[in-house]
Amino acid sequence: MLYMHDLWVNWFEGEENGYNVCRFHEWRKEDGIEIVDQIPLLLVEEQLYESIENDLQDLPMSLLQDVQKRTYMKRNQERHTIEYAAVVTNGHDVIVFDTLGYTLPVKKSRLIPRQERLVFEMVQGKKPATYNMEEQFTKEYHILSLEPEKMSGLTRRERQLKQLLMMALDQLKHSDYPEEIRYWLTEWNPVEYHSIKELTTDEAWERLYQGTSHGWTIHHEELCGKLVKGQPFFETIWQGEHQKAEKHIKSQN
């Protein structure tokens, strides 16, 4: 078995979509970077890699047995054993997982570029290991888990705010005041005001969702800010992202 040593990881917990497991250039100073003493490296087939990167499904038991207690981390000068963790690659991309003792990849991380290149060098010319998956991997996307193309090209901050906007829209759809949907669609697209009045609630919501689910602009951000106003949970996320952005800008100056 191949092993990597002194690995830098930045864990993202409970993320099913790979686009939310941020690559090195999007790591922040406040992220909790950890060093892994030793961890197995697996070259796996494409379907299994996709499942690990973009879902939270149970991992093959044979894979878990192969990596069990083979990862070590140092905390306070003491070496701790990790139950199930590994670096996995399909030969052209890399992700690290830690199951926290469960059977699914609860925590995921990317690697720094130098260590990513080392992965590709280590597996070059090797055949991927075969692990039988109990179920065929078919990823289902929805408003709270958008398709990758709808997040493509967005920064970490923009992805976070877009997810917040989708959460707010989902809540709006199921609210006790469906007439608000036409109001917010008019806020989004005021030039269509007269035709919006003729839409059913479902038609209005679908048009609002389709209009906002692609890309990210200042118009998206303004709508998001208005939608979350007065909702403590959403406002906390909104303010947190803006504070992080301000810190990042100051650190660059």
Residues 114 and 8 in one domain: yes
For residue 140, tell me if it sits in a domain.
Answer: no
For residue 136, tell me if it sits in a domain.
Answer: no
Residues 208 and 112 in one domain: no
Q: Within 13 Å of residue 217, how many CA atoms lie on the same side as its CB? A: 7
pLDDT above 70: residue 139: yes
SS3 state of residue 98: strand
Residues 193 and 239 in one domain: yes
> What digits encode the pLDDT tens for the residues 215-237?
999 999 999 999 999 999 999 99
Residues 85 and 179 in one domain: no
Residues 96 and 154 in one domain: no
pLDDT above 80: residue 136: no
For residue 139, tell me if it sits in a domain.
Answer: no
Average pLDDT, the chain: 93
pLDDT above 70: residue 251: no
What CA–CA distance (Å, rounded) separates 133 from 54?
Answer: 15
Number of domains in the chain: 2
For residue 64, tell me if it sits in a domain.
Answer: yes
For residue 160, tell me if it sits in a domain.
Answer: yes
Q: What is the DSSP letter of 165?
A: H
Q: What is the residue range of 213's domain?
A: 148-252
How much is the pLDDT for 253?
57
For residue 96, tell me if it sits in a domain.
Answer: yes
How much is the pLDDT for 200?
92
Return the number of other C-beta atoms located less than 10 Å from residue 184's C-beta: 19
Residues 113 and 215 in one domain: no
For residue 137, tell me if it sits in a domain.
Answer: no
SS3 state of residue 7: strand
Residues 11 and 106 in one domain: yes
Residues 16 and 80 in one domain: yes
pLDDT above 70: residue 137: no
For residue 18, tell me if it sits in a domain.
Answer: yes
pLDDT above 90: residue 156: yes
Q: What mean pLDDT is predicted for residues 107-135?
A: 94
Residues 119 and 152 in one domain: no
pLDDT band (50, 70, 90) for residue 252: low
In the structure, how many helices (H) and strands (E) does the chain have? 10, 8
pLDDT band (50, 70, 90) for residue 151: very high
Residues 31 and 71 in one domain: yes
pLDDT above 70: residue 249: no
> What digits encode the pLDDT tens for the residues 69-100?
999 998 877 889 999 999 999 999 999 999 99
pLDDT band (50, 70, 90) for residue 153: very high
How much is the pLDDT for 78?
85
What CA–CA distance (Å, rounded) separates 44 from 64?
Answer: 13
Q: What is the DSSP letter of 129?
A: B
